[in-house]
Structures are given as structure tokens and as C-alpha cells.
Structure 1
């Protein structure tokens, strides 16, 4: 039997280590990403789709990135990840973790407790706006923002290509 997600049975290289080289050149793409559910269904998500969901802003966010130093504070706006999951997954669908993977191969793994227990005023965000303006391709178009992370922004994935919600 083939698993619904190959990522669910194999740990990607970026889970335990990945290059921390800055990537100043955006990979090609238009900000549309693939959402894979625990049951293996797929949905392409564009910024236009995100804009139909509840809008959330999170202030005082910093990007502390290897090779780039610290920038910010920013006000990021977009959709709380838990709101996207509520809109796209059946209520009873349970999951083990979420992998958010960039078009340049960088990624972050989020655990349920990170996503579901983030403070309401600082949820994990799929941001498409920064400081009141839509983000450019250079800035990520759609970017994962984890407000609680303040060290090396290893979970601040930009250029999102796919989000894999791994089954239990």
C-alpha cells in the first residue's frame, strides 16, 4: 500500500539540517501553493483564495535570517494557518505535523501544539501583506510567519510551494 504522502514516511533533509545560505534571487512562481491533506486530497491555493478567509494582522514581527541580520519590526497580514486548515480540512481530520516547503527547497515542520495553541493575537500566519502592502515576489508573495520564533527565523518560509499536512 502506498502512503498518501511520501513525506509522511521519509524525513526530508531540511528537518534536521539544511543550508543556511541566503537566497537573494526568488525562484520562479506566482505565489500559488499546493495544500496536501492528511487523506491525500490536493488543493491549489492562490493569494485570491487566502483573501476570502479571515484577515489577521500580527505586529512586532522580526525576521532574523542567517546571512541577512535582523530586519523589522513588521506588521504582517494574511490568514492564520489554523483558519486555512479549518476552511480546507474536514473538522474530524487529524494530523501529525505540517511541512511548509519553499520553492527553493527550504522548509519548516510545525507541530500541532505550535499551530493550535499560538496566542490568538500572534497566530502562525500565511502572510501575503507586509506593513499594509501586498508582498512582492522578492518578499515571498506568501510567507510563513511564526511570531513566537525570534532566533534564526528557521520557520519563516518564503516562496511557499506546498504545505503537507501529514496524517497521524
Structure 2
């Protein structure tokens, strides 16, 4: 099967049981580079990167319905990646501390949806996200119906493969 075949990829959009409480006490996450090295990333590290806000974003949770619209602020996933990793890559695995994850392809970051770029958000409506709200969330602004790509409580971001032409 192709690595882009969504039926074979457990990190492609899928439902999961909602988790209302933070799965760990650790507010930081790991960046795992393509060469296997890793480093711990804090909210303060993200705040040092270019800031982007995207309005009209929604959170849709299994069993909790839709909330929003919100304005999320953080750094784009592309700004994050290019700051910390200058090598070739083709995709990212963004996985929450509770194990829910998603795969983001390089093309999505270089050609964002008109709704806005994918963010690693640390603010919502001008206020810092609390640990219970996710502290750092991957926001996919194009998702308005199911939000199965959005990751609450980012636990790790892993660089995968070579960048494809």
C-alpha cells in the first residue's frame, strides 16, 4: 500500500474517545528530528517564533459537539519546522500526549488551505490556552465539520522521510 493511502495510515483522520483531562502533567512536547535526535519544546520556545492568528476556527469533539468560532494564535507548523529543522522531510507526525495523532504532508504546509495555515496554537481569543484546553494544540483551520485532524495536548512532532519534489 502507498504511504498516502489513508486506509493504511493510523495517523490519518480518525475518531477517538474524548479525553477531558490532560493525560500527563508535562506541558512540554518532543520534537523528533529525521536523524533521530530529539529536543524538548516549551510554549516559550513557540512564542519566540513568528506569530500568526487565524480566525473563524472551530473545535469539534466527539461527544462534546462544536464550539467556536475562535481565533487561535501561535506559530504556523511550517515556521516551526523550518526554524528547528533544515534537512529534507516529507511529512510530520503530530501526536498528542493521549496517543491521538495526525500526519501532515509537506505540500499542505507549503500550499495552505484558504481558511488558513496549520498552527501550533498556544492562545485562543487572545488568552493563553490552559493545560485543560490543550496548552499547545495543532489547529487545522480548514476543518469545520469533524476536526479529526486537530491535536490537543501535542506530545510529539516527528519529522519523517525525505522531501518529495
Give the TM-score category using the shorter length: 0.7 to 0.9
Q: Deviations over 1:106-132 (max 9, x none)?
A: 001111111221158711000000000
Q: For residues 45-124 of structure 1, what are the structure 2 equivalents within 5 Å?
A: 45-90=41-86, 93-119=87-113, 122-124=116-118
Q: 2: distance between equivalents of 1:49 and 1:164?
A: 17
Q: Which moved more, 1:137-146 or 1:39-48?
A: 39-48
Residue-pair matches, total: 155
Q: What secondary structure is seen at the aligned counterpart in 2 of 1:21?
A: coil
The Cα RMSD (Å) is 1.9
For structure 2, list consecutive stretches of 5 or more residues without a partner in the other structure. 1-7
Q: 2: distance between equivalents of 1:136 and 1:35?
A: 21
Per the TM alignment, residue 148 of structure 1 is displaced from its structure 2 partner at its CA by 1.1
Conservation of the 8 A alpha-carbon contact between 1:102 and 1:159: yes
Per the TM alignment, residue 28 of structure 1 is displaced from its structure 2 partner at its CA by 1.5
Q: 2: distance between equivalents of 1:121 and 1:150?
A: 10
Match of residue 38 from structure 1: 34
Q: 1: distance between equivalents of 2:113 and 2:101?
A: 23
- Structure 1 stretches (4+) deviating beyond 3 angstroms? 16-19
TM-score, normalization: structure 2?
Answer: 0.86
Q: What secondary structure is seen at the aligned counterpart in 2 of 1:95?
A: coil
Conservation of the 8 A alpha-carbon contact between 1:14 and 1:106: no
For structure 1, list consecutive stretches of 5 or more residues without a partner in the other structure. 1-11
Q: What secondary structure is seen at the aligned counterpart in 1 of 2:67?
A: strand
Q: 1: distance between equivalents of 2:108 and 2:143?
A: 11
Match of residue 155 from structure 1: 149
TM-score, normalization: structure 1?
Answer: 0.85
